[in-house]
Amino acid sequence: MRIDQYLPGFAPHDAIGNHTLQARRVLREAGYESDIWAEQIIAPLEQEARPYLEDSYKPGEDRVLLYHSSTSSPMALWLNERAKKQSLLGHYHNITPATFFERWEVNIAEAMRSAREELAMLAPATSMSFADSAYNETELVELGYRSTLVCPILVDLEDYHLPPEPRTLDTLQSRREHSGSQWLFVGRMAPNKCQHEVVGAFAVYKRLFDPEARLTLIGGATSPGYNHAVHQLVHKLRLAESVEIVMGGLRDAELLAHWAVADVFVCLSEHEGFCVPLVEAMELGVPVVAYAATAVPETLGPAGLVLEDKDPLAVAMAVDQACRPGPARERLIEAGRQRAGDFSLENTSKQFLAGIASLT
């Protein structure tokens, strides 16, 4: 049997792209033929996938189509037609509600609405759909998907233990010797990620707890308007010397260098379907302070400091607790590492294959 995967955008250093590669490996090792088809294929992945419009139906072939939903794409309508001839599976990675973008990027907001309409359209045609989290699964059930299964995104935790980039690490460690606690957040610069609230909480923390603290925000700019507003806020609060905003483009080894010097990972996002950086933080022994929104509490489980209130003072106090050396911090680190183990590639691969086997 052949199980091919389809996704709108196939990009390096992307959680869904990495998941798709891992899923292909798992499928092939289990004896399935499997290829990747995409609408947009970003360098250097041209050899790993083919344009989906080059795919053609062959009568009588034993083939399953697995679609990764996360954004709007003409691929959805194309697959809806193909599902009349071949079995269609889904994997829902979540679609950000349009309301988060309406103020900043009208075109993105409209694309998010279209993506949700496409997700609903595919419900009758999809025989079964995976979901990264129970939170995502609830959305599928509400849209009428008749068979669903929670399977966390496939992440190779061993990749996080490769050597950091030496020059970047030396620079960051040298800077750390002359500064205080190191805050880190990794995620697209987007309104739902709420980097502006991380900046606000950091300003309070710096004033009340650690004048030498530093904050690093890493991620590509999904919304140029929101990105500009966050930069303006940093300058308005006179934090330009303490806040570094790294706009994507980092190699994996460079990102690992930032993780190596971080004291705390602070996530105040309003909407997450899973949030892979939470797993990264836990695996690497970086305590997490996070707002209890959407799938965040589910991903963290018993690890991390999960807040019901995003008041800047409440966040600052939680970060002070997480950063203060002692048994409490060590317990957070150990709980995080144990929780990250639940998302080991061995565990998630078994969940993924069990779902596939139930259909084949």
Bridge partners of 204, per DSSP, are none
CATH architecture of 158-341: 3-Layer(aba) Sandwich (3.40)
CB-based contacts of 106, cutoff 8 Å, min separation 6: none
**CB of 250 closer than 8 Å to CB of 229:** no
pLDDT tens-digit map of 211-256: 999 999 999 989 999 999 999 999 999 999 999 999 877 899 999 9
Task: Give domain limits for the chain.
Answer: 2-155+344-359, 158-341
Give tens-digit pLDDT for 122-178. Answer: 999 999 999 999 999 999 999 999 999 999 999 999 999 999 999 999 999 999 998
> Can you give the pTM of this predicted structure?
0.95
Q: Helices (DSSP H) in the chain: which residue ranges?
A: 15-29, 75-82, 106-122, 134-142, 166-176, 195-208, 224-236, 252-261, 276-283, 296-300, 312-323, 327-341, 345-359
Fold equal for 2-155+344-359 and 158-341: yes
- Residue 12 and residue 135: Cα distance in Å, rounded? 26
Q: Report how far residue 321's alpha carbon sits from residue 353's, in angstroms, rounded to the nearest whole number.
A: 40
Look at residues 134, 105, 121 and name the one whose alpha carbon lies nearest to residue 72: 121
Report CA 274 to chain centroid distance, whole Å. 6
Contact 2/63 with Cβ under 8 angstroms? Answer: yes
* CATH architecture type of domain 2-155+344-359: 3-Layer(aba) Sandwich (3.40)
